[in-house]
Amino acid sequence: MDIFSLLWIVSLAFTGLTEGAGLLPDGLNAAVGGKVMFTTTLTPGTPFQSVNWKFGAEELFTWNVNNFTEPEYEGRITFFMSTGSLELRNLALNDSGDYSVTILEAGKRPQTGITRLKVEETVSNVMVTSSSTELVEFNSSVSLSCSSSGSPLSFFWLNSSSEVTGIDRVQITDGGSTLTIINVTRYDQGPFSCHVSNPVSEGTSDPLTLIIYYGPENVNLKISPPHAPYLEGSNISLSCSAVSNPLAHYTWFLDGGLLSKGSQFDLSNSQKNQSGSYSCQAFNNKTLRYETSHPVTISVLGPPGCSAGCIAGIVISVLVVLCVVAAIVWYCFHDKKKKKKKRSAENTNTRTGGQDNGAYTRSQEMNYADVRFTKKNNGGKVQMGDQNKPSDYAEFRVNNIPRAAASSLPTYDAHLQRNKRPTPQPETAEPYAQVRKN
């Protein structure tokens, strides 16, 4: 044992490891294959007589007049004269441990510092595995495990870019390396990734996405065109959709009876007997769940024609029209008759010439009827009625000649004088029918 080792042991005995501990940092971490710098707290340029570095009780490096490096550290150590610091390269896991330094300055007591180095393997090959990747919503649970190479110290999980924390359905165990989700939902599909770190490195796994089956739900039946009712020969298209993973399989029913399969059902050239209640049923072959749409009623009408009800309606309409027409005719007939009576009354009043005042106008011309001339046995003629006596005649016509001054009733002589007609001869005299004298 040389004098410097003896001095180091003696200094430890008297001062202990804590004295001068400020010469070195409290602890250091380094990666396998990397390097570490043991930096002292001495002021650069401080003169010292000797420096001695040790790894545990093993000599590492000594400087006094000449530098001395243990053979196993050759090529791995660099010594810095200005501060007495030391750099160690090409680190291995077995380089982890306690490192100490003793520095002797002229006229001063030896100063000793100690620190601990932990050499870590770098994090690599971070990977996430799942107990299952195909899950059924509300029925399945899953565990995700994170593994890596190196010396991991901490784990945390990410769902997309958000950190996953433990809640009722989510449990994080095994030091954070295992994530368990109970009764998964469709929102638990991820992608999930695991982040691993240690003091010298970190790494993140590739994302893992869970396949979660759900549905069917919200089954929706649509009809195109949506207008109803439909005439025979119309083309009607029905489509069915649902929220489902994987895509649902669809079955069509008419009045509860099976029709066909597929997401669409077409009624081409539809017929009246295809009327009824249509519905579609969605089925998920992973969740083994069914859901049926609300039924939709389709009415297909026959070709234009007239049924018994239609005929009855027409007959009733015709009868109503005939009744209205008859009422109009009856009204017009009776109205006309009423007007005729009124005119007749007015004419009668005119013919009487206003008997109330006994006047008769000269300008009224009379046509005679019912007057007969007869022959006498001696060849003479007889005038029926008294010629000089005023006579009233039952039938006459009054022309609309402006009324003159009132006069006495006309006589036959006055009539002949006015018309200046010769007296009819017996042989040519035409009998007049039915003389009626008032």
Structure tokens at 291: 């859901």
Angle among Cα 193, 194, 198 to the nearest 5 degrees reads 150
CA–CA separation, 365 and 122 (whole Å): 150
Q: Which two tokens stand for residue 158?
A: 């990410």
* 87 touches 168 (CB < 8 A): no
pLDDT of residue 327: 81
Q: Examine domains 3-120 and 215-301 and report if their fold is the same.
A: yes
Q: Let me know: does 112 contact 23? Beta carbons within 8 Å.
A: yes
Q: What is the pLDDT of residues 78-115, one digit of tens each?
A: 999 899 999 999 999 999 999 999 999 888 899 999 99
Q: What distance separates the 2 farthest-apart alpha carbons in the chain?
A: 217
Map tokens 């081409």 to a residue. Answer: 268
Rounded CA-CA distance 273/74 in Å is 101
pTM of this prediction exceeds 0.85 = no
Give CA–CA dist 427/422, Å, rounded.
14
What pLDDT is attached to residue 424?
55
- Give the start-to-end residue ranges of the domains of the chain: 3-120, 124-209, 215-301, 358-438
The candidate with the shortest Cα–Cα distance to 309, out of 319, 299, 317, 321, is 317
Q: Given this model, what pLDDT does residue 206 score?
A: 96
Q: Which residue has the tokens 């004295």?
A: 19
Question: Burial of 405 by CB count in 10 Å (0-12 exposed, 13-18 middle, 19+ buried)?
Answer: exposed
> Residue 142 forms beta bridges with which residues?
181
Which class is domain 124-209?
A: mainly beta
Domain 3-120: CATH class, spelled out = mainly beta
Q: What is the CA radius of gyration of the chain?
A: 69
* CATH for 215-301 (3.60.20.10, 3.40.50.720, 2.60.40.10, 2.30.30.60): 2.60.40.10
Put residue 177 in one of left, alpha, beta given phi > 0 → left and psi -120 to 50 → alpha. Answer: alpha
Amino acid at 120: E
CA distance 8 to 2: 10
Q: What is the reported pLDDT for 45? A: 86
pLDDT tens, N- to C-terminus, the chain (438 residues)? 444 444 444 444 343 343 445 799 989 999 999 999 999 999 898 888 899 999 999 999 999 877 788 888 999 999 998 999 999 999 999 999 999 999 998 888 999 999 999 999 999 999 999 999 899 999 999 999 999 998 888 999 999 989 999 888 999 999 999 999 999 999 999 999 999 999 999 999 999 999 999 999 999 999 999 877 889 999 999 999 999 999 999 999 999 999 999 999 999 999 999 999 999 999 999 999 999 999 999 999 887 655 566 667 777 888 888 888 888 887 787 777 777 777 776 666 555 554 444 444 444 444 444 445 555 556 655 555 555 555 544 444 445 444 444 445 566 666 566 665 555 555 544 444 444 443
Q: How many CB atoms lie within 10 A of CB 264?
A: 15
Sequence-distant (≥ 6) Cβ neighbours of residue 201 within 8 angstroms: 31, 120, 122, 123, 124, 150
Burial class of residue 368 (count of CB atoms within 10 Å of its CB; 0-12, 13-18, 19+): middle
pLDDT at 133: 84
Which residues, in sequence order, are CB contacts of 94 under 8 Å at separation 6+? Answer: 119
CB 50 within 8 A of CB 101: no
CB atoms within 10 A of CB 335: 10
